[in-house]
Chain A
Amino acid sequence: MLSQERAPIYEALKEFEKKRVVPFDVPGHKRGRGNPELAALLGERCVRMDVNSMKPLDNLCHPVSVIRDAEELAAQAFGAAHAFLMVGGTTSAVQAMILSAAKRGDKIILPRNVHRSVMGAMVLCGAVPVYVDPACDERLGIPLGMRLDDVKAAVKEHPDAKAVLVNNPTYYGICSDICSIVQLAHENGMLCLADEAHGTHFYFGEGLPVPAMAAGADLAAVSMHKSGGSLTQSSLLLAGPRMSEGHVRQIINLTQTTSGSYLLLSSLDISRRNLALRGRESFKKVLGMARYARGEINAVGGYDAFSRELINGDSVFDFDETKLSVHTLDIGLAGIEVYDLLRDEYDIQIEFGDLGNILAYLSIGDRALDLERLVGALAEIKRRYAKDRAKAGLMVQEYIEPRVAVSPQEAFYADKEMLPLEKTEGRICSEFVMCYPPGIPILAPGEEITRDILDYIVYAKAKGCSMTGPEDPDILRLNVLRM
C-alpha cells in the first residue's frame, strides 16, 4: 500500500546508487567522471543521480512502476484523479492542458492577462481565443480576475467553446470565483482549465483560496518549483475525473523529452512528500510571516501592503495572502525603482517590481530574520529616497474588446509586412502589443487593428507607459498580415 510517507522515485534512486552499476548508457558524463568541472560545481552526489531511464527507475513517457507510483501519490496528495510529473516547466503543463482540451479551430474562453505559455499553446494547436476583460484596479494599476457575469456572457455568445481557462491566482495573488466558473463551464459542456503556476500552496493551506481540483476543474498546471519547493523547471499537471489519462499522456508525449531528468523527477517526488506530510504546518508559518511583514511594512507608513481588503466578491473573489505585494507610489517611488534599490543597495532580490508595486515571494524556505531585513530595507528606502512627487495617476487601461480575425496560429505562420502605425488600421496584427501597467495585451497575434486601438497606443505612449511586444521597439511600425 502506498502512503504519503513514501517517495518511490527517491527510494529507487537510493537503491540504484547502492548497486554501483557500470554505465554503458547515456548520459555520457558517466556519473560526472567525464566532466570533473561540472561535478565540482554541482557536487559528486548530484551528478551521480543524473541517470537515464531504465527498468529499476521506470520511464517518464510510459510509466509503469516507480514513476507511476509517484504520480499516484501526487494525485492523492492534490486531490486529483491523475497527476503527471512534468520536466519542461509549467509552460509544458500549460501547453499539454490546452492541447488536451482543444484542437484547430476550437474556441477557448480566457482572461486577457494569461501567461505567454497559453498563447504559445494556441499557436501550436490552432485554437481560437475568446477573451474576457480582466477588471483593473485603478489605484494599484494591476489586472484583477474575471467577473462571473463576463464569463457568462462569453459562454452565451460562444456556446461552441471547448473550455474556460482561469488564473488561480494571478501573479499578484488575485483569484476569480473558480467554483462558479467550473459549474458554469460544466453546465455548458465545456472543460475548466486552471493555470495554477502561482497556486501550489493552495492545496496545503488553511485560510488560502480554493485550489482548482477542489473546485472541480478538469485540468490544472501547478508550478511545484514555485511555492512547492522542487527544482526549477519541474512541474505537475493535474487532471480531474472527466479527463482520459491515456489521452492526456499522449498529448504530453508529443512535446515532452524522452530523457526526463531524474534530478527533476526526484525533486518532485520529495517535494510532494514534504508538502503532504508537513505542508499545512509550513504554509501556516508562511502565512504568519506574510501577515507579520504586511503589518510591519504598513506601519512604516507610505507603503500599502495590500491584501484581502481588495476582495469584492467578483473580480477579486479571493486573495492569496502569501503574495507580499506592496504599492509604493505614495512614497514617490515606482515599484521598479524600489525593486532596483533593494537589489543594488541592500542585496535583497524580490520577485518583481512594476510601475506601482513590488512583489516579494514568500515560501517554505523563508526565515523570520530575512523578513526583518526586507522590512528594515524598505524603511530605509523610504527614509533615504522617498520623493515628494505628486502622484502621477496611473493610466487606467480601458478595455478594448479585441476582434479576433484569425487564430494565433494562422497569424503566426502567415506572410507579414511591416507598416507604419497609421497605415495599419483595418489590418490583422501578427504580434503582441503590451502596455505596462497593467500588462494586459492591447493586441495579440490574429487581431484586427481598429481606430480605437491605434488611438490608445498613441495615448499610452504619450503618457509614458512602457510598451513591449512588437519587433519595432519604438512601436512606430507594426507587423501585419499581408493581404
Chain B
Amino acid sequence: MEFWFSEEHTPNVKFSIRVDRQLYSGKSEFQRIDVFDSYEFGRFLVLDGYMMLTEKDEFIYHEMITHVPMAVHPKVQNVLVIGAGDGGVIRELVQYPEIQRIDMVEIDALVVEVCKKYLPQTACRFDDSRVHIHYEDGLKFVRTRENEYDLIIVDSTDPFGPGEGLFTKEFYGNCCKALREDGILINQHESPYYPEDAMACQRAHKNIVESFPISKVYQAHIPTYPSGHWLFGFASKKYHPLRNLDETRWNLRGLNCRYYTTTLHKGAFYIPAYVEELLKNVE
C-alpha cells in the first residue's frame, strides 16, 4: 500500500511526501485542517491542502522568523504575533526573559487546539504566563493598536484564503501604527522562485516599502516549501538589520539554535541577483 500526500507547487510541479497515517482531519469556519505522520518528515500540518510545517524542518522557519529581529532590537518587551497557531514562534520567543508580554492573534481557534493535541513539538509553550491568545482577525486587531509593540511577527498562511488580508497595504500601514517608533515588523514573505509566488512576494514587498523607511528581505532554505527557497521581510522605522546587529550580546545568551547563527544572519540578507531585481522593481 502506498499513501502519499501531494501538494501542487505549480500546476505542473508536484511535491509529495509518503504518509504513514492520517491523525486528524477537520474543518473549521475558515479552513480544512489535516495532520499526518510521515516517514521522512515526521508529523506534519496541512491547511486547505497546503503543507504548513513538518517536525523535521520547522526549526529553520521558526528560528529565522524570531532570532533575526531579536538579535537587532536592543530591548524587546512587547511582542505581537499574528497567525502562528502552531506555536513555533511562541516556543522561540519565550526563551527571551526580557520579553514581558506576547499577544498572539490567530483567527482560527481550531488550529491551536489541533496543534496542542498533535504537534506538541511546536505547540508546547502556550502556557507561558506572558502569552495572551486572541482569536480574531489580525487586520482587525492591529487596527485598534497604537504605539504599543517593539516587535510584530506576521506568521501567516499564503496570500489567498484566510491569510489574504495580512498581505495588504492597509495591514502593513496599521502595523506601522501599532509599533513603537523603534519597532520591527517581520513577515513570512513567500518564495521568489515560481512566478505566482514571486508575484505575491513582490506585491508584499511593494506594500511594505510604502509603509516603512527601512525594508529588507532575508532568506532561508526550507526543504518542504515550494522551491525550497523562502524569504522573510524585515521592516523597521529605525533599526537596520545588519548595521544594528549586536552579535556579542546575542551570542552571550547561549541560546541553542540549529539553523540560526549571527554569521548566518549577515549572510541571509545577501540575496540572489534575480531576487534583488524582483524587489528593486517595486521599490
A384 within 8 A of B: yes
Task: A379 to B164: give the CA distance in the assembly, Å.
Answer: 18
Give the interface segment out of A181-189, A210-218, A224-232, A370-378: A370-378
Interface residue? A345 (CB, 8 A): yes
Q: Which of B162, B168, B174: most chain A CB closer than 10 A?
A: B168
Residue from A347, A372, A377, A383 whose CB has the most chain B CB atoms within 10 Å:
A372
Choose among A347, A379, A384 the residue that contacts B143 (Cβ–Cβ < 8 A).
A379
8 A Cβ contacts from B31-82 to A: none
B173 touches A369 (CB 8 A): no
Interface residues of A in 301-357 (CB under 8 A from B): 345-347
Chain B: minimal CB distance from A175 (Å)? 32
Q: Which residues of A contact B173 (CB under 8 A)?
A: 376, 380, 383-384
Say yes or no: is B165 at the interface (Cβ < 8 Å to chain A): yes
Q: State A379–B146 Cα separation when bound (angstroms).
A: 12
In the assembled complex, the Cα of A330 lies from the Cα of B177 at a distance in Å of 21
- How big is the B interface, by class? 10 to 19
- For the complex, give the distance between the alpha carbons of A368 and B162 in Å: 10
**A residues less than 8 Å from B143 (CB atoms):** 372, 375-376, 379
Shortest distance between the CB of B184 and any CB in chain A (Å): 20
Establish whether residues B177 and A376, one from each chain, have CB atoms under 8 Å apart when the complex forms: no
Q: A380-B174, A383-B173 are in contact. Are A346 and B168 (CB under 8 A)?
A: yes
Contact call B137/A372, Cβ cutoff below 8 A: yes
Main secondary structure, interface of B, reads helix
One digit per residue, 1 when the CB lies within 8 angstroms of any chain B CB and 0 when it does not, for chain A 259-302 equals: 00000000000000000000000000000000000001000000
Residue among B162, B169, B177 making CB contact with A383, cutoff 8 Å: B177
Query: Which of A368, A369, A375, A380 is in CB contact (< 8 Å) with B169?
Result: A380
Shortest CB-to-CB span from A333 to chain B, Å, is 16
Asked whether any CB of chain A lies closer than 8 Å to the CB of B132, the reply is no
CB pair A372 B140 closer than 8 Å: yes
B171 lies within 8 A of chain A by Cβ = yes
CB-CB contacts below 8 Å: B139-198 with A: 139-140, 143, 162, 164-165, 168-171, 173-174, 177
- With known contacts A368-B137, A383-B177, A373–B162 Cβ distance under 8 A: no
Among A345, A346, A369, A375, the residue within 8 A (CB) of B164 is A369
* Chain A residue at minimal CB-CB distance from B177: A383
A369 and B162 in contact, given A376-B139, A376-B143, A379-B143 (Cβ under 8 angstroms): yes
Provide the bound-state CA to CA distance between A380 and B137, in Å.
Answer: 17
Given A369-B137, A373-B139, A375-B143, does the pair A380, B164 have CB atoms closer than 8 Å?
Answer: no
Residue from the list B165, B169, B170 in contact with A379, Cβ < 8 A: B170
A413 to B103, CA, bound (A): 70
What total count of A-B pairs have CB within 8 Å? 46
Distance in angstroms between the alpha carbons of A383 and B165 in the assembled complex: 19
Decide: A373 and B177 in contact? CB cutoff 8 A.
no
Contact yes or no, B169 A345, CB < 8 A:
yes
Whether A346 pairs with B169 at a CB distance below 8 angstroms is: yes
Given A345-B169, A346-B169, A369-B137: A376 and B164 within 8 A (CB)?
no
Q: Which of B143, B165, B170 has the most CB of A within 10 A?
A: B170
Which residue on B lies nearest to A379, using beta carbons? B143
**A379-B174, A380-B174 known; A372 and B165 CB under 8 Å?**
yes
Most chain-A CB neighbours within 10 Å: which of B165, B169, B171? B169
B155 to chain A, nearest CB (A): 18
CA distance A357 to B54 in the complex (A): 50
CB distance from A230 to the nearest CB of B (A): 27
> How far, in angstroms, from A296 to B139 measured CA to CA in the complex?
13
Shortest C-beta distance, A373 to chain B (Å), equals 5
Please report the C-alpha to C-alpha distance between residue A380 and residue B169 in the assembled complex, in whole angstroms: 9
Given A345-B169, A346-B168 in contact, is the A376-B162 Cβ separation under 8 Å?
no
A373 to B162, CA, bound (A): 12
Q: CA of A369 to CA of B140 in the docked complex: distance in angstroms?
A: 9
B140–A375 touching, CB < 8 Å:
yes
Docked pose: A379 CA to B168 CA in angstroms: 13
Bound: A369/B160 CA distance, A: 12
Q: Which residues of A contact B168 (CB under 8 A)?
A: 346-347, 373, 376-377
Cβ contacts under 8 Å, A377 to chain B: 168-170
Centre residue among A296, A346, A376, A377 by max chain B CB count within 10 A? A376
Distance from A291 Cβ to chain B, minimum over Cβ atoms (Å) = 15
Instruction: Report the minimum CB–CB distance from A285 to chain B (whole Å).
Output: 14
> For residue B170, which residues in chain A have a CB less than 8 angstroms away from its CB?
346, 373, 376-377, 379-380
Question: With a CB–CB cut-off of 8 A, which chain B residues contact A383?
Answer: 173, 177
Question: How long is the Cα–Cα vector from A376 to B145 in the complex, in angstroms?
Answer: 12
| Alpha-carbon gap, A375 to B171, bound state (A) | 11
Within 8 A of B (CB), among A83-118: none
Q: How far is the CA of A247 from the CA of B137 in the complex (A)?
A: 55
Of B162, B173, B177, the most chain A CB neighbours within 10 A belong to B173
Chain B residues packing against A (C-beta within 8 Å): 137, 139-140, 143, 162, 164-165, 168-171, 173-174, 177
Give 7 nearest A-B pairs by CB, closest first. Answer: A376-B170, A377-B170, A380-B173, A372-B139, A380-B170, A376-B139, A372-B140
Beyond A346-B168, A377-B169, A379-B174, 13 extra complex contacts between A and B, CB < 8 Å: A296-B140, A345-B169, A369-B162, A372-B143, A375-B140, A376-B139, A376-B140, A376-B143, A376-B170, A377-B170, A379-B170, A380-B169, A383-B177
Sampled A-B contacts (27; CB under 8 Å): A345-B169, A346-B168, A346-B169, A346-B170, A347-B169, A368-B137, A369-B137, A369-B162, A369-B164, A369-B165, A372-B139, A372-B165, A373-B165, A375-B140, A375-B143, A376-B140, A376-B143, A376-B168, A376-B170, A376-B171, A376-B174, A377-B168, A377-B170, A379-B170, A380-B174, A383-B177, A384-B173
